Amino acid sequence: MNYVHQFLFGIYPYIALAIFLVGSLIRFDREQYSWKSESSQTLNNGMLRLGSPLFHIGVLGLFFGHMAGLLTPVWVWDTLGVTHGAKQLVAMVAGGVMGSLCLVGLLMLIARRLSNERVRARSTFKDKLVLCWLLATLLLGLSSIFASASHMDGHMMVLLMTWAQHVVTLRGDAAGFIEAAPLVFKLHLFMGMSLFAIFPFTRLVHVWSGFGAITYLSRAYQLVRPR
């Protein structure tokens, strides 16, 4: 089991990241016509009008919350006077709120995709896989809140932060920090990392375009010359 743990949390993160980056680059280079969200709004607007904003607000809050929570060095929080227990409580509340918004939106999107005949006929296996994968990852994340409530000292949170920071700084001892972590945390981490691995092969690639749209704020004005 030590070898499996070392692979899943010491090596697999780099495999998933490589597939995520290289796969996205290759798809953008070779299949630009498939680089889109493939919206089904014209087929049925229904629950999409409410479900989509809830899902996107929730998932963006979770993404940036995880980035800030896991990758901010512990000494920064200590310098600011934020105790480990207080940070864990904030993470649990913020994660619970954003996770709940995301869950409600996601369930509405899944119900719409499966119940509407036109949308269901347009859906591919990859579309259903992504939705189910997101749902499982989200449910595991929300379940981890209850596991965290049993130890409010912030110790496990610090171990998870240390694992993430050692992974991104290419240190080989990362897996050892979460060897004793509860199973729900490990499953959530694995599902989250695997989401990056399947990312380039699905419509999720449109997320890149969303971040790329920020460059429009600094683009030059369009020049219109009269004849």
Binding residues for heme b: 56, 66, 188, 206
CA-based max dimension of the chain: 74
Burial (Cβ within 10 Å: 0-12, 13-18, ≥19) of residue 142: middle
Q: Which 3 state secondary structure label does DSSP give 186?
A: helix
Type of residue found at 189:
L
Type of residue found at 97:
V
Beta strands in the chain (DSSP E): none
State how far the Cα of 40 lies from the Cα of 56, in Å rounded to an integer. 16
Annotated binding site: 56, 66, 188, 206
